[in-house]
Amino acid sequence: MSSRARVLVLNSALGPLDYRVPHGMSVQPGSIVIAPLGPRQLLGVVWEPERMPSDAEVGDNRLRNLVGVVDVPPLGEPLRRLIEWTADYYLAPAAAVVRMAMPSSSALEGVKTITEYRATGEVPDRLTPQREQALERIGDRQGLIRELATVADVSDAVIRGLVKVGALEALQVDIDSPYPLPDPDHHQPALSPDQRAASATLVANVAAHEFHPTLLDGVTGSGKTEVYFEAIAEAIREGRQTLVLLPEIALTEPFLKRFTARFGCEPIAWHSGLRSSQRRRAWRAIATGQALVTVGARSALFLPYANLGLIVVDEAHETSFKQEEGVHYHARDVAVMRGKFEGCPVILASATPAIETRQQVALGRYAELKLPGRWGAAEMPAIEPIDLIQSPPDRGRWIAPPLVKAMEETLARREQVLLFLNRRGYAPLTLCRTCGHRFQCPNCTAWMVEHRLIQRITCHHCGHLEPTPRACPECGNEDTLVAVGPGVERIADEVKALFPEAKTAVVTSDTIWSPAKAAEFVARMEAHDIDIVVGTQLVTKGYHFPNLTLVGVIDADLGLNGGDLRASERTFQQIMQVAGRAGRGAKPGHVYIQTHSPDTPVMRALITGDAEAFYAAETDSRREAGAPPFGRFAGIVVSSEDKAAAQEIATLIGRTAPQVDGMETYGPAPAPLAMLRGRHRFRLLVHARRALDVQDVIRTWLGALDWSSKVRVTVDIDPYSFV
């Protein structure tokens, strides 16, 4: 009798397929296998047949043989249940979710040793300045040619030259060599009484080996990181793994430094910049349980941890945890589910928790621990409004006189300033003064944004780039193009004009695109090589610069204009976060927020510091509207390069919307972003009662319809984006 295996192959268009397991091969649920598909071979994962029904039962005699089993541990049962749950909840193909748990096949199979280099101590006869610099900076480091070149800030050729003359030698390194183990007692700080109480509870939760979701709600600078580090220390002592999720990889850099100070070595950082050999090593160490602490953004969530003892979601309110392409999942919510399946505690840390999370606390589903004050002598900064109607900036300027004055005073005290504006580039809109022509992206319903640093205009939706034109393409006039409104680059120009002596840095995803760039920025701030930072939301969180004492919010009203359901909440969170960068050390902090409407509830809450009143009012209005977390939304986006085809299917979906008690369907209507990356888009919005299984309704509804491959239909459960 031959044995069969049901396999989820890594092809989202296919359901599970059955294969024969040849003699001598043994598989179990979770085994990673190589399966033939037509003329190709694909990776797949063996699944319990009863949990993954197949539409096409194939007779034993028509089965194809599996080609092989990959020599890595099978995906564990909790992860398999999580994959099923995610696919079900977000209406995604199981294979698309499985893919997130797997490394690329080259990383699974690839080479096992690599060649690294280190100094021999020999000094070359011809010691050029570059060679000297390289040897000095490399010191006793060991690494690939490219890594050493980066460290030394020289070209690869310089490093190769040093190898040739015998100053560097080659070593064969086993790339699966174990990672150093963090030491839970390396440097334990003395905790404040509040911190001690909170950490004791978290440590006990880790020791209990049970699912236990907890909101760690502490003001900015209260030392939340130090508190959850104690829980991590407990997991390390027990030899169990921890996953720390951060909203952006730019934040891993400060995290790695603090982790190393506390535990004596770096954790495993999982991000898209890893080389295939690093990826292989990290993935395998995670799968065998050797890697004790892993930090990463969303993509670290589905890795095959062998014995997870703790999950931490830091800055848990951040909307960047919501994935907006592929599987539209929310990493915070899936992290809690993972904790449930793994049977381990989950810590959601935030100074400005999401209303969804606060509601879980109110319902008693999550526990809550509070850190009401900043650590040490640091005080919360004072927040003051600047009414832009009463004290407007000069013509063509954006920094109002009171903020300019505060900047002067801060710089005179040799302290640092942060100006926050959540807009990349120089100006959000460029138009021709003569004919009114505006630059629109050819692929999207969006204006092109001028970036002077790179002398391009670009689309922030699809990345389309063009050289900044000299003349108007419409009327041909030269020098008639004007920038409308400010972006961070324009604010930086204004700062340079006001304070020509000060050192200014622009910090956005355009200037900080890698962990190394983030490290460089941190080092420059710490060395006080920067006086004034002009930045987007990238600088609003995670960083701790004790000498930064003044924060100016250039346009506090900006986020309120979008009109989406979380606009007020997001504005509140963002400004609280950026305000939280001020005065984190011994020196007091000041925050000025420039606004046209200081009397809106958000601004009032920010100024008075009455977060509870704001949350209460916001929660009430959500409840009244049946908006999340009291009701549910699902977005349905129909898109195609062929507008008529998209419209036709959107209309069909709208027409066949089921009449279900407690559910309403709106649309279709052209999406606010009516065209994106060359595809025309139509939206429908489903609004349902909390208790309704809206996924089931949508599955049946859309499952009965058919459309050509030109048309793509994307369902977004619990959407954060409505454009």
> Whose CA is closest to 227, among 72, 348, 96, 327?
348
CB of 442 to Zn ion, least distance (A): 7
Q: Which does 569 bind (CB under 5 to 8 A by kind): ligand ADP, Zn ion, none?
A: none
Question: How far from 62 is each of 19, 58, 231, 310, 685, CA to CA, in Å?
Answer: 9, 6, 53, 45, 45
Looking at the Cβ atoms of 221 and 486, the one nearer to ligand ADP is 221
CA distance 709 to 95: 19
CB of 447 to Zn ion, least distance (A): 10
Looking at the Cβ atoms of 190 and 644, the one nearer to ligand ADP is 190
* One character per residue 566-605, x = contact with ligand ADP (rule: CB under 6 A): ----------------------------------------
CA distance 551 to 578: 7
Q: Write the CB contacts of 110 (distance below 8 Å, at least 6 apart in sequence).
A: 276, 277, 280
Beta bridge mates, 183: none
CB of 250 to ligand ADP, least distance (A): 16
Looking at the Cβ atoms of 545 and 592, the one nearer to ligand ADP is 545
Span from 85-93, 114-122, 217-225, 290-298 in contact with ligand ADP (CB under 6 A): 217-225
Question: How far from 177 is each of 114, 251, 280, 291, 570, CA to CA, in Å?
Answer: 11, 27, 11, 11, 44
Contacts with Zn ion by CB under 5 A: the residue count is 7
Structure tokens at 630: 């009291």
Q: Which does 441 bind (CB under 5 to 8 A by kind): ligand ADP, Zn ion, none?
A: Zn ion
Q: Which does 649 bind (CB under 5 to 8 A by kind): Zn ion, ligand ADP, none?
A: none
Q: Which does 358 bind (CB under 5 to 8 A by kind): Zn ion, ligand ADP, none?
A: none
CA distance 4 to 2: 7
* Residue whose entry in the numeric block shows the structure tokens 């999942």: 329
- Of 11, 86, 195, 323, the residue at the interface with ligand ADP (CB under 6 A) is 195
Looking at the Cβ atoms of 201 and 443, the one nearer to Zn ion is 443
Using rule CB under 6 A, residue 222 touches ligand ADP: yes
Residues 149, 152, 154, CA angle at the centre, nearest 5°? 60
CB of 332 to ligand ADP, least distance (A): 17
- Of 16, 78, 182, 223, the residue at the interface with ligand ADP (CB under 6 A) is 223
Residue ranges in 504-563 that form contacts with ligand ADP under rule CB under 6 A: 544
- Burial readout 380-397 (b: 16 or more C-beta within 10 A, e: otherwise): bbebebbbbeeeebeeeb
Looking at the Cβ atoms of 203 and 459, the one nearer to Zn ion is 459
CA distance 360 to 379: 30
CA distance 462 to 457: 12
* Residue whose entry in the numeric block shows the structure tokens 């069969």: 4
CB of 351 to ligand ADP, least distance (A): 6
- Of 7, 256, 347, 444, the residue at the interface with Zn ion (CB under 5 A) is 444
CA distance 398 to 492: 11
> Whose CA is closest to 484, among 518, 436, 445?
436
Using rule CB under 6 A, residue 487 touches ligand ADP: no
CB of 712 to Zn ion, least distance (A): 17
* One character per residue 143-182, x = contact with ligand ADP (rule: CB under 6 A): ----------------------------------------
Residue 577: phi and psi, rounded to 5, are -65, -50
Using rule CB under 6 A, residue 263 touches ligand ADP: no
Structure tokens at 656: 């066949």
- Burial status of residue 478 (CB atoms within 10 A of its CB: 0-12, 13-18, 19 or more): exposed
> Whose CA is closest to 479, among 424, 430, 440?
430
- Of 199, 220, 537, 577, the residue at the interface with ligand ADP (CB under 6 A) is 220
CB of 98 to ligand ADP, least distance (A): 34
3-state secondary structure of 97: helix
Q: Which does 189 bind (CB under 5 to 8 A by kind): ligand ADP, Zn ion, none?
A: ligand ADP
* Residue whose entry in the numeric block shows the structure tokens 């799968």: 287
- Of 461, 587, 596, 689, the residue at the interface with Zn ion (CB under 5 A) is 461
Structure tokens at 144: 């690939």
Span from 160-168, 220-228, 437-445, 541-549 in contact with Zn ion (CB under 5 A): 437-445
Span from 61-69, 187-195, 278-286, 458-466 in contact with Zn ion (CB under 5 A): 458-466
3-state secondary structure of 10: coil
CA distance 610 to 392: 27
> Whose CA is closest to 207, among 243, 180, 238, 184?
238
Q: Which does 668 bind (CB under 5 to 8 A by kind): Zn ion, ligand ADP, none?
A: none
Residue ranges in 361-380 that form contacts with ligand ADP under rule CB under 6 A: 375
Question: How far from 407 is each of 411, 499, 548, 717, CA to CA, in Å?
Answer: 6, 9, 11, 45
Report the binding-site residues for Zn(2+): 432, 435, 441, 444, 459, 462, 472, 475
What is the residue-wise DSSP string for 190-216?
PPPHHHHHHHHHHHHHHHHTS-EEEEE
* One character per residue 322-361, x = contact with ligand ADP (rule: CB under 6 A): ----------------------------------------
Using rule CB under 6 A, residue 225 touches ligand ADP: yes
CA distance 684 to 680: 14
Looking at the Cβ atoms of 456 and 461, the one nearer to Zn ion is 461
Looking at the Cβ atoms of 266 and 510, the one nearer to ligand ADP is 266
CB of 226 to ligand ADP, least distance (A): 4
Name the residues that contact Zn ion, by CB under 5 A.
441, 443-444, 459, 461-462, 464
Q: Which residues bind ligand ADP (CB under 6 A)?
A: 189-192, 195, 218, 220-226, 375, 544
